[in-house]
């Protein structure tokens, strides 16, 4: 594991250790970096010496790029599975050609063939923010898509409840039947036992290619 040295990195360390432990997979080591580190070769050298054969990376776009550049300098070609942090900026520009080696999860990408809803949202974004020229300029795409759908779901619930009181809105959320969102069409997204409208099937592994986030295909 190569993780940012803060509470975010700490929580991911616990989660990853638990997941690895549940599958009886030992970890070679856990290394931390500071958000403003220029060079993480010493940390990566320790992991390589400990026999790591894959890296779990947790960090924002800038530090993640430094990890990739440090791997390039070492000449260590190792698979990298990452938190979606690199999607929060211009990862291809910062990390260079090796950016595409980092695989991370997303719920949505504005690249490729878009649904009518996706095309409409993308056009609206370009109209409101002229600096957006291509899908590569929509950062972080997953954050925008999640926020877009979440805002609409809450709005539907408020309309149903005709109130903004928490308990009433919550009850109204359970009554949402169908909403055609950006990420997917939500059918009965919330129940008293399920407060997460996105499930395991809604996540895809992606990588950067020429500045755009594309799904991984075997």
Residues that bind other proteins (CB under 8 A): 5, 31-34, 36, 38-39, 41-43, 45-46, 49, 61-62, 65-66, 69, 72-75, 89-90, 93-94, 96, 139
Smallest gap from residue 57 Cβ to other proteins (A): 14
Residue at token pair 């039947």: 177
Nearer to other proteins, 45 or 163 (CB): 45
Smallest gap from residue 92 Cβ to other proteins (A): 9
| C-alpha of 96 from chain center | 19
Nearer to other proteins, 12 or 197 (CB): 12
Nearer to other proteins, 34 or 165 (CB): 34
Structure-block tokens of residue 185: 């069409």
Rounded Cα distance between 183 and 147, Å, is 10
Nearer to other proteins, 29 or 118 (CB): 29
Residue 56, SS3? strand
Smallest gap from residue 126 Cβ to other proteins (A): 18
For residue 193, count other CB atoms closer than 10 A to its CB. Answer: 6
Contact 42, 13 (CB under 8 A): no
């Amino acid at each position: 594991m190569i993780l940012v040295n803060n509470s975010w990195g700490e929580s991911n360390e616990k989660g990853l250790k638990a997941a690895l432990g549940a599958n009886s997979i030992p970890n070679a080591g856990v290394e931390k970096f500071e958000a403003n580190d220029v060079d993480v070769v010493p940390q990566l050298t320790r992991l390589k010496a400990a026999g790591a054969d894959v890296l779990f990376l947790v960090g924002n776009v800038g530090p993640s790029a430094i990890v990739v550049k440090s791997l390039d300098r070492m000449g260590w070609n190792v698979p990298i599975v990452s938190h979606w942090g690199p999607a929060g900026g211009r990862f291809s520009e910062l990390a260079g050609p090796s950016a595409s080696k980092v695989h991370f999860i997303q719920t949505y990408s504005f690249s490729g063939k878009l649904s009518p809803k996706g095309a409409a949202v993308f056009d609206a974004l370009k109209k409101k923010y002229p600096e957006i020229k291509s899908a590569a300029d929509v950062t972080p795409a997953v954050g925008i898509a999640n926020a877009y759908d979440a805002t609409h779901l809450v709005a539907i619930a408020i309309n149903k409840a005709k109130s903004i009181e928490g308990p009433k809105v919550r009850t109204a959320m359970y009554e949402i039947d169908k909403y055609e969102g950006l990420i997917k069409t939500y059918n009965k997204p919330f129940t008293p036992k399920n407060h997460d409208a996105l499930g395991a099937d809604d996540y895809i592994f992606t990588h950067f290619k020429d500045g755009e986030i594309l799904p991984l295909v075997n």
